[in-house]
């Protein structure tokens, strides 16, 4: 190949030289022919072989998978709307400075984009920071909103556990100045409603408070400038062992081993109102005003959760930290008990999906974007939809019942040849009446093939037309599952189809 390319290069230079010297045309034509012959012997580089794969941490979704996803989205949106939320949308990328410094140690996972028109941009890491920017930019002080969109993280993906580089988030947030813990408890209630509606099995919503954590760190002797980094270390307790977290605190974060051991005794505590009361008697904690305020808030939150009927699903857990820097108060995380895993175990990659929802209060984030540092208190929750999808898909694949990928209600079938025009008229009539309808795209399809199409696609009803039906101004309605047929007058067709669909 290299020799051939060298010959082509030499021959090309010869042709250019002859043309420059205005040599004999016959000579030039002869050398050009040789050049073309050499080029023709090159392999066709247009047949380049592509690596047919999606980028790391991303995936395609087939129609069956999309039908599962759409079903889940419908239930989630219904819960958001039931609680009075309206929706917004924001760009998939933001100014880099908008995202910088909001995520703590996770900032290294932000995707930066190449300079475009003088702006340094990054793909959005979540939907919360863009929401805060939206509030500050539009001077909005009060809104209840949901937002479902893709976000991007330059993570090392574990796709068997629903972890991706590109994935959907489903966020619900309440912004505004309200009395303590009322909107916070509603967010916990919404998580419970969504997990119940998706029928994912038993779950627990862990709750904690950043003020309690900060007070605990102070009481244990953690310097204030290490609060956030120690918080990030504690956040890993659901993924690894305490011994690993302790080692990180001491070896990487430079924390005194005595302080680390004190933290270890607190983070193993979990319970309910009884634990709140116990901690309110802890003299060391009560010296820290933030811990006292956080525990009073927690007591109120658990009381409201009881009134909402979800207290049995809530656990006050001092190991819950959530590493993002912008949280200022209550934090929570929902975990499916049937799919939890032992940190570091061999089964981690196969059945563990980690948390499926998380969120908390972030009262200072909007102020970071406001020129006057105006505070707009916010609390919200994000549903880990990709992890939920991985469970729903696995369950669907294991089920014997075949799921539908279309919503088609009626299939128009011709009983004889030359019925295409009559089928088209029937389809038009059904579509105009908002009935989801399909037919064969063949002019004269076989009747058996048409029935097979109904069964393959789970279409419940067929409308059959033939010469006798046209003559008598009727159509045959057939229930595909039972194969029961009856004639109905053409004028009553729409009404009878709707009755059958309602019954089915």
In the chain, where the domains are located: 2-40, 63-398, 410-503
Strand 437-439 versus strand 410-414 pairing type: parallel
Q: Which long-range contacts (CB under 8 A, 24 or more apart) does 463-466 make?
A: 463/410, 463/411, 463/412, 463/413, 463/426, 463/430, 463/493, 463/497, 464/413, 464/414, 464/415, 465/412, 465/413, 465/414, 465/415, 465/419, 465/422, 465/423, 465/426, 466/414, 466/415, 466/416, 466/419
pLDDT at residue 496 above 50? yes
Which of these ranges, 71-85, 291-305, 378-392, 459-473, has the smallest mean pLDDT?
Answer: 378-392
The fold of 63-398 is: BirA Bifunctional Protein; domain 2 (3.30.930)
**Each residue's pLDDT tens digit, 32-58:** 888 888 888 777 655 566 778 888 888
- The pLDDT of residue 148 is 96
pLDDT higher at 390 or 301: 301
The model's confidence at residue 465, banded by pLDDT at 50, 70 and 90, is: very high
- The pLDDT of residue 71 is 92
**Each residue's pLDDT tens digit, 14-38:** 888 888 888 888 888 888 888 888 8
Structure tokens at 77: 């949106």
**Binding region:** 126-128, 153, 169, 173, 322, 326-327
pLDDT at residue 191 above 60? yes
- The pLDDT of residue 44 is 65
pLDDT at residue 404 above 90? no
- The pLDDT of residue 162 is 56
Pick the CATH number of 410-503 from 3.40.50.800, 3.40.50.2000, 3.40.190.10, 1.10.630.10: 3.40.50.800
The model's confidence at residue 351, banded by pLDDT at 50, 70 and 90, is: very low
**Binding region for L-histidine:** 126-128, 153, 169, 173, 322, 326-327
The 3-class SS string of 462-495 reads EEEECHHHHHHCEEEEEECCCCCEEEEEHHHHHH
Structure tokens at 377: 């208190």
- The pLDDT of 452-477, averaged and rounded, is 95
The model's confidence at residue 352, banded by pLDDT at 50, 70 and 90, is: very low
- The pLDDT of residue 138 is 94
The model's confidence at residue 349, banded by pLDDT at 50, 70 and 90, is: very low
* % residues pLDDT > 70 (the chain): 93
**Each residue's pLDDT tens digit, 63-98:** 999 999 999 999 999 999 999 999 999 999 999 999
pLDDT higher at 47 or 267: 267
**For the whole model, what pTM was predicted?**
0.79
């Amino acid at each position: 190949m290299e020799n051939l390319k060298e010959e082509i290069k030499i021959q090309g230079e010869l042709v250019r030289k002859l043309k420059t010297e205005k040599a004999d045309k016959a000579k030039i034509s002869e050398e050009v022919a040789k050049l073309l012959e050499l080029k023709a012997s090159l392999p066709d580089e247009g047949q380049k072989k592509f690596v047919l794969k999606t980028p790391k941490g991303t995936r395609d979704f087939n129609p069956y998978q999309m039908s599962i996803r759409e079903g889940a989205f419908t239930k989630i949106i219904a819960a958001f709307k039931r609680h009075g939320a309206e929706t917004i949308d924001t760009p998939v990328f933001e100014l880099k400075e908008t995202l910088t410094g909001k995520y703590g140690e996770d900032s290294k996972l932000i995707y930066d984009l190449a300079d475009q028109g003088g702006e340094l941009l990054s793909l959005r890491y979540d939907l919360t920071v863009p929401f805060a920017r939206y509030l500050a930019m539009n001077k909005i002080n009060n809104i209840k909103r949901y937002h479902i969109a893709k976000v991007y993280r330059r993570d090392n993906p574990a796709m068997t556990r629903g972890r991706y580089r590109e994935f959907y988030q489903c966020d619900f947030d309440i912004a505004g100045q309200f009395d303590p813990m009322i909107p916070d408890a509603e967010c916990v209630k919404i998580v419970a409603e969504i997990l119940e509606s998706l029928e994912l099995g038993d779950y627990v919503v862990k709750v904690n408070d950043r003020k309690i954590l900060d007070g605990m760190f102070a009481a244990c002797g953690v310097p204030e400038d290490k609060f956030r980094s120690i918080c990030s270390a504690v956040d890993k307790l659901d993924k690894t062992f305490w011994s690993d977290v302790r080692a990180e605190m001491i070896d990487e974060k430079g924390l005194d081993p005595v302080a680390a051991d004190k933290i270890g005794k607190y983070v193993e505590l979990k319970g309910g109102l009884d634990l709140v009361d116990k901690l309110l008697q802890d003299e060391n904690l009560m010296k820290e005003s933030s811990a006292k305020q956080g525990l009073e808030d927690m007591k109120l939150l658990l009381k409201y959760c009881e009134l909402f009927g979800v207290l049995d699903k809530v656990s006050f857990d001092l190991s819950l930290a959530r590493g993002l820097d912008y949280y200022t108060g209550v934090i929570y995380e929902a975990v499916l008990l049937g799919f939890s895993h032992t940190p570091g175990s061999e089964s981690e990659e196969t059945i563990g999906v980690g948390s499926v929802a998380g969120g908390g209060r972030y009262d200072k984030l909007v102020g970071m974007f406001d020129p006057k540092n105006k505070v707009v208190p916010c609390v919200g929750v994000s549903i880990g939809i990709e992890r939920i999808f991985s469970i729903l898909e696995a369950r669907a694949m294991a089920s014997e019942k075949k799921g539908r990928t279309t919503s088609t209600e009626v299939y128009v079938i011709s009983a004889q040849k030359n019925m295409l025009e009559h089928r088209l008229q029937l389809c038009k009539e059904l579509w105009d009446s908002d009935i989801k309808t399909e037919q064969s795209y063949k002019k004269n399809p076989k009747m058996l093939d048409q029935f097979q199409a109904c069964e393959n696609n789970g279409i419940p009803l067929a409308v059959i037309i033939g010469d006798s039906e046209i003559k008598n101004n009727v159509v045959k309605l057939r229930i595909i599952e039972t194969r029961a047929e009856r004639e109905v007058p053409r004028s009553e067709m729409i009404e009878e189809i709707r009755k059958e669909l309602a019954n089915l």
